[in-house]
């Protein structure tokens, strides 16, 4: 039986990955800065809170990282920790860089220091590419980060590549494009849209306020993307992979699809708000996930419209449960 350590187990990806690995017979351990105080609400929602062994670990503290790795003795480490919001990274640039760049470096150095053959996965991001324009980014596309978040993710990516090449560590990065689910935090625009659409449909909200709706993204389904993470660590050789659907849509199309799910015309409810514009934003994000298909046998089954429908259906089901309880 393999043991996996998931850093950032309380987030969307961490929770779905824990569920996947438990179903595969793994012993799953997860970390949080303070495991005794954290609610691990996503693990609770998936019904696996009591099946995951939880440890307190500060990823920016090398001693803390070494202690947990020594105690757990994992076969695989998944680094999904760190500040997760592009928008928030402009307000907290130092915290963002430390949690990702320094945190990833601590994990890599701890694995090298301990000297045990641990396989390491690092969560990288399509934000590293910046504007791809009409070019579909693959593993050889240069990084042009446009936010503190993207800069930190790019630094962590190259740390992983360096430790793989210099020390022979089995270390890889998944360059994941946008992937959504009902477990997404409310600050993410996709959740904001879905929640607003459902409230408007229920009659408890009048308008949806957003910034730039012309941006284009490749949106996938998070539970599928954690399968790609797992597959990367089952290969004979460590490598980096772009994980995406290969299809990009505008935020306007995402909005239209969400309103269509409840039978409404989005144009009647959307208000463009200049105060919600980011300091810098990526106009277009396109992906070429051919390598993942060829080497991992992984392809996204769900595309943007499927993702929107599933998120809206779950949110509406939640409202119905609340109304029944009341």
Is 292 inside any structural domain? no
Averaged pLDDT of the chain:
93
User: What is the per-residue DSSP string for 78-101?
Assistant: EE--S---HHHHHH-HHHHHIIII
Query: Residue 278: what pLDDT?
Result: 62
Mean pLDDT for the stretch of residues 76-80: 98
Residues 224 and 272: their CA atoms lie apart, in Å, by 32
Same-domain status, 85 and 25: yes
Tell me the average pLDDT across 19-23: 98
Which whole number is the average pLDDT over 97-114?
96
Let me know the angle formed at the C-alpha of 13 by 48 and 266, rounded to the nearest 5 degrees. 110
Residue 322 has pLDDT above 60, yes or no: no
Task: State whether 125 and 274 are in the same domain.
Answer: no
In a domain, 171, yes or no: yes
Q: Is residue 253 part of a domain?
A: yes
Regarding whether 145 and 196 lie in a shared domain, the answer is no
- % residues pLDDT > 90 (the chain): 81
- As a whole number of angstroms, the distance between CA 283 and CA 214 comes to 7
- One domain for residues 85 and 208: no
- Is residue 126 domain-shared with residue 265, that is, in the same domain? no
Instruction: Check whether 170 has a pLDDT greater than 80.
Output: yes
- On whether the CB atoms of residues 83 and 92 are closer than 8 A, the answer is yes
- Across 225-249, average pLDDT: 98
The structure's pTM equals 0.94
Q: At residue 106, does pLDDT exceed 70? A: yes
The larger pLDDT score, comparing residue 61 to residue 276, is at 61
199 inside domain: yes
Q: Based on the fold, state whether residues 74 and 123 are members of the same structural domain.
A: yes
Catalytic, out of 125, 173, 181, 248: 125
pLDDT at 323: 45
pLDDT over 80 (residue 126): yes
Same domain, 190 and 41: no
Kindly state whether residues 62 and 126 are assigned to the same domain.
yes
What is the tens place of the pLDDT at every residue in 244-282?
999 999 999 999 999 999 999 999 999 987 776 666 678
CA dihedral 168→172→173→174, nearest 10 degrees, is 160
For residue 224, pLDDT over 80 is answered with yes
In the chain, % of residues over pLDDT 70: 96
Q: What is the pLDDT of residue 320?
A: 61
Could you tell me if 132 and 202 lie in one domain? no
Range of the domain at 67: 3-179+221-243
Mean per-residue pLDDT, 314-318:
88
Is 293 within the bounds of a domain? no
**Active-site annotation holds for 16:** no
CATH of the domain at 189: 3.90.25.10
Determine which one of 76, 127, 253, 257 is catalytic: 127
Q: Is the residue at 290 inside a domain?
A: no
How many whole angstroms separate alpha carbon 255 and alpha carbon 207? 12
Residue 324: pLDDT above 50? no
On whether residue 174 sits in a domain, the answer given is: yes
188 in a structural domain: yes
- Shared domain check, 199 and 126: no
Average pLDDT (297-319) is 94
Q: What is the pLDDT of residues 64-73, one digit of tens each?
A: 999 999 999 9
Pick the catalytic residue: 26, 78, 121, 149?
Answer: 149
Q: What is the CATH number of the domain that holds 55?
A: 3.40.50.720
Average pLDDT of 219-237?
98
pLDDT for 325 equals: 37
Range 223-241 average pLDDT:
98
Q: Which residues are within 8 A (CB) of 319 and not within 5 positions of it... i.e. 6 or more apart?
A: 198, 202
Say how many domains are in the chain: 2
pLDDT at 101: 96
Indicate if the pLDDT at residue 321 is higher than 60. Answer: no
Q: Tens of pLDDT along 183-220?
A: 998 889 999 999 999 999 998 888 999 988 999 999 99
Q: Can 149 be counted among the known catalytic residues? A: yes
Catalytic site includes residue 230: no
158 and 270 co-located in one domain? no
- Of the two residues 272 and 242, the one the predictor is more confident about is 242
Co-location of 237 and 278 in the same domain: no
């Amino acid at each position: 039986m393999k043991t996996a350590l998931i850093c950032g187990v309380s987030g969307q990806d961490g929770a779905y990955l824990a569920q996947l690995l438990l179903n595969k017979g793994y012993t799953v351990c997860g970390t949080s800065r303070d495991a005794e105080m954290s609610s691990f609400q996503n693990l609770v929602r998936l019904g696996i809170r009591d099946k995951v062994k939880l440890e307190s670990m500060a990823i920016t503290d090398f001693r803390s990282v070494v202690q947990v790795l020594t105690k757990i003795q994992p076969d695989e480490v998944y680094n999904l920790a760190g500040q997760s919001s592009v928008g928030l990274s402009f307000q907290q640039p130092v915290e963002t860089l430390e949690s990702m760049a320094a945190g990833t470096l601590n994990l890599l150095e701890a694995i090298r220091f301990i000297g045990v053959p641990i396989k390491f996965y690092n969560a990288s991001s399509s934000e590293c590419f910046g504007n791809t324009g009409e070019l579909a980014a693959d593993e050889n596309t240069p990084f042009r980060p446009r936010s503190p978040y993207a800069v930190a993710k790019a630094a962590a990516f190259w740390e992983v590549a360096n430790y793989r090449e210099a020390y022979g560590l089995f270390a890889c990065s998944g360059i994941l494009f946008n992937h959504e689910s009902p477990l997404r935090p409310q600050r993410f625009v996709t959740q904001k849209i879905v929640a607003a659409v459902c409230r408007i449909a229920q009659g408890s909200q009048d308008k949806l306020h957003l910034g730039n709706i012309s941006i284009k993204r490749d949106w996938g389904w998070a539970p599928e993307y954690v399968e790609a993470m797992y597959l990367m660590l089952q290969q004979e050789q460590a490598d980096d992979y772009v994980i995406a659907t290969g299809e990009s849509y505008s935020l306007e199309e995402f909005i239209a699809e969400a309103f269509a799910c409840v039978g409404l015309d989005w144009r009647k409810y959307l208000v463009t708000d200049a105060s919600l514009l980011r300091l810098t934003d990526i106009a277009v994000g396109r992906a070429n996930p051919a390598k993942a298909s060829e080497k991992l046998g992984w392809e996204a089954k769900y595309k943007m419209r499927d993702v929107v429908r599933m998120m809206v259906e779950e949110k509406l089901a939640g409202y119905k449960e609340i109304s029944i309880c009341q």
